[in-house]
Each structure stands twice: as C-alpha cells, then as structure tokens.
Copies of this chain bind each other. A is one copy, B any other.
Amino acid sequence: MSQSEEQQWKLLLLEALVKERREDAQQVIEEVYPYDLANWYGELGATEQERLLRYLDHERLADVIEELELEQQLEVLRRLDVEHAGHVMDLMENDDLADILEELPKEEVDRLLSGMRQDEALIVRNLLTYPAETAGRLMTNRFIWVTDESTIGETIEKMRDYIEYSETINYVYVVNQLSQLVGVISYRDLILASNDERIADVMDRKVISVSSETDQEDVAKMFERYDLVSLPVVEGDVLVGLITVDDALDVLREEANEDIEKLSASGKSIDFDTKPWVAATRRLPWLILLLFIGLVSGSIISQFEETLSKVVALAFFMPMIAGMTGNTGTQSLAVVVRGLITREVDKKVVTRLIMRELRVGLIIGVTCGILIAIIAYVWQGDPILGLVVGSSLIITLIFGTLAGTIIPLILHRLNIDPAIASGPLITTLNDILSLLVYFGIATAFISRLM
C-alpha cells in the first residue's frame, strides 16, 4: 500500500465514522491492515473512536488492539463491557494479552479474565506465571502438533480442523506418547509427501528448541543465527509452546532500545508519548547521582586551587581534556555493550579486546596529544604549558579508553546489570580521572609554568 493510498483509505474511514455510515466504514476496515487502523485510532476524536470500536467485529478488534500502544490497549479494554472484552481477548495472542494484563491490579485482571472462555483464561493465567523477558512469556499455544504415530493424511486432517485457531506458521511439530518433542515437518514437506506415509518417517528429527526459562535476548539470537521462523519451547523435553518470528523482531527492537537507554542513561522513556513528569522522574535519579559525582571533580579542582590561581590559563584546557576523555570512553563503551550481545565472551576474547582498545587508546592519545601540545604552545606562547596539556591528554585518553572497555566487562562478568555502566557515568568518571592527571602534571611543573 503506497502512502497516498493509505491517506485515501484514512479519509474514507474518517468520513464514514463522522457520518455514522457503518457499512462504508466496514468496507475500509476490510481493505486495510490492523496496524494502520491502530495507527489511525489514536488520531480520532472520542466519538469516532467509540464508533470505530463498535464497527469492528471481535476478530478484527483483537488484531487492532494488539497493534496499539500499551496505554491505549488498557483504555480500549476498559471501554468495552466485560462480556465483549472477553470475546475479544479470547481471540488475541495470549502472549500479547499477558503483557497487557501484567500492568493491571489483580482485581481488574480477575474481572477481565472472567469474561473469557475458561480454557483461554487458564492459558493466560499460566503465561503470567513465567517471569517477564523469558521464552515462557513469548510463547503461544496456537500451533499444530501431532504424535509421531500419525500419518500424513491424519496430519492434514488435523490442520483442516485447527486452521482458524492456529497462527500462520509453517511447521507442524511432532511429539511422542510422553508429549516430548521428537521432530518437525514443514508444510512444504507435507505437501510433497503422500497421504499414507507415517509422520515419523518423513519428519526432521533435528529440531532446535529452547527451555521456557531462556532469556528473551537469547531467544532472539537463536532466530538470527539459525534463520528460524518459529521456535518450540520445552520444559524437560515436553513441548509447552511455540515462539514465532514476529516476537523475535519485537525483542530485537526492545533490546536495542535497552542498550541505548544504558548508553544515554535516559531510563525507560524512549518514546514520544511518555508524560513529562514520568520522563523527568525516570531521568532524574541518574542526573542527581551524576551531579554528586560531578561535585567530586569540583573538590579535586579545589585541591589544586593554588596551582589554578597561579596559572589561570590551565582552566582554558580543562573542559577540552575532560570532554575528550569522556568521548573516548563512550566510544569504547558502545563497542563493548554492542559486542557483548552478538558474541560469547571467554577469556581469550576479553584479553584480545582489552589489548585492541589499549592500542586504539595509544594511537588516539598520541595523535591528539601532539596536536594539542602544538596548539597550546602557539596560542599561549608557553612550551611548558604545551607539554603539560599534551602529555596529560595522551595519558587521559589511554586511561579513558581502557575505563570504557574494562568497566562494562567487569560488570558483565559479575552479572551486575550493565545499566550501571551507562555512558554519562563513564563520562563523569573519566572527567574525574582526567582532572587528577591534568592538575597532577601541572602541579609538578608549576615552577616552570610561572
């Protein structure tokens, strides 16, 4: 669908909603995608929103809700009466529904679930028992499985029966008498086999699966590595669910956002809709911590008050040295944080990485150090000042690069949430380090600087 087509559909829908023409609206609804409807929903007035919800049948409404932002999802479910909401929730992906319900107080969850079919409600309750961000929470039970004693004909029969119910994935999973996952067969192979063959003779016994406790980041990695479109979830060897590739795409996006939150210490407010007050309170704890660390810089400078008051020109280079050390630390940090995702790290990799960054720090330090020494000399006409500034920058850039590399690696090793190694924290720590080095060297040369 091109953008201009999209605009046309949108206008047609809007017109139909304003004029309360149910049939016209439903014609548009038929033609466009749930994502688009969800996108337009937010832009409608309250009356039109209410009409749109009324015109959507249960199934379509379930699809649209899945595409809405969390706040809107809650709002829509609250607008519907319990029975209507229940019918819609029956048709939603259970993992998406669990993510929504998790945000609600227990009484409201119970109220909403009471409108659902009992078996569906039970499945959702079960999903909610898995910790967030694990394979168990991503899985659906809407997929087709057969026992290894079935024939191809029976399998196709079962597919016909469950077709409305199952997600459009492309494999049938095979279990034995004990419900243990033993194989997989693609729809393609099903088409090509003859009806009386036994599944056990045609299926692929090499099937990749994950346990339900697996972290979602590892789940996404497996989709990437093995080019999967679906991944069965097991407990022991028993098949309990299936994760589809659309969840892996969402997880990749989420994990990338988390890394960026780490690097920028912005907290969980990487979106445009968070209220100012909420966004501010998420960012403030970091900023206040950094404010106090920044004061440490101040007290270091105050220790060197005598040096500084004798040679005020030292202050000119202070922000540059501190800034450069922070920048180089952030660069290394970014490399490490991203690298830790795609790579397993053992001792060999860590050692090689630290040696690499040491060399990078050396090259960067020497280049920038010599450059600034010349500039400082030319600007202030003092060769010793040039020497002090230049040698300080060499040292601080090497240490800054190493700090940006080693600190996140240590945190990773200690299994501490690497969010602590956020970009601004590294920057601020590097500030302190650079001021110590700079004023240390300057004080040593103070008699020659005056």
Contact = CB atoms under 8 A, between A and B. Distances in A.
A149 interface: no
A338 B257 contact: yes
A290 B309 CA distance: 27
Interface stretch (A114-122, A123-131, A260-268): A260-268
Given A33-B226, A291-B324, A316-B298, A338 B191 contact: no
Given A191-B191, A252-B256, A253-B224, A283 B331 contact: yes
Interface stretch (A17-25, A132-140, A273-281): A273-281
Nearest to A361: B280
A323 interface: yes
A212 interface: no
A271 interface: yes
B324 A315 contact: no
Interface stretch (A8-16, A70-78, A80-88, A422-430): A422-430
B224 A250 contact: yes
A283 B328 contact: yes
A284 B264 CA distance: 21
A299 interface: yes
Kindly report how many copies of this chain are found in the complex they form together. Answer: 2
A116 to B, nearest CB: 23
A349 B272 contact: yes
Interface in A312-347: 312-313, 315-324, 326-328, 330-335, 337-339, 342-343
Interface string A285-311: 011101100110111011001001100
Interface stretch (A50-58, A100-108, A368-376): A368-376
Contacts of A275: 356
A227 interface: yes
- A159, A263, A264 interface centre (most CB from chain B within 10 Å): A264
- A298, A302, A316 interface centre (most CB from chain B within 10 Å): A298
A372 B275 CA distance: 26
- A250, A316, A324 interface centre (most CB from chain B within 10 Å): A316
A327 B290 contact: yes
Interface of A is mostly: helix
Given A257-B338, A272-B353, A265 B330 contact: yes
A269 B305 CA distance: 40
Nearest to A294: B320
B187 A188 contact: yes
A206 interface: yes
Given A170-B170, A191-B191, A263-B334, A297 B315 contact: no
Interface residues of A, number: 116
Contact of A225 (B35, B260, B313, B359): B35
Given A249-B249, A323-B431, 9 more contacts: A256-B256, A266-B331, A271-B335, A280-B360, A291-B368, A301-B315, A309-B309, A319-B319, A323-B428
24 contacts: A191-B191, A220-B249, A229-B229, A245-B245, A248-B249, A249-B249, A249-B252, A260-B260, A266-B330, A266-B331, A270-B339, A271-B338, A279-B335, A279-B356, A280-B363, A288-B371, A294-B319, A294-B321, A297-B320, A319-B435, A323-B427, A327-B424, A330-B423, A427-B427
Interface of A: 1, 31, 33, 35, 67, 156, 159-160, 163, 168, 170, 186-188, 190-192, 206, 208, 220, 223-227, 229, 245-246, 248-250, 252-253, 256-257, 259-261, 263-267, 269-272, 274-277, 279-280, 283-284, 286-288, 290-291, 294-295, 297-299, 301-302, 305, 308-309, 312-313, 315-324, 326-328, 330-335, 337-339, 342-343, 349, 352-353, 356-357, 359-360, 363-364, 367-368, 371-372, 375, 423-424, 427-428, 431, 435
The 8 A-B pairs at the shortest CB distance, nearest first, are namely A294-B320, A256-B256, A264-B334, A276-B359, A298-B316, A280-B363, A266-B331, A297-B319
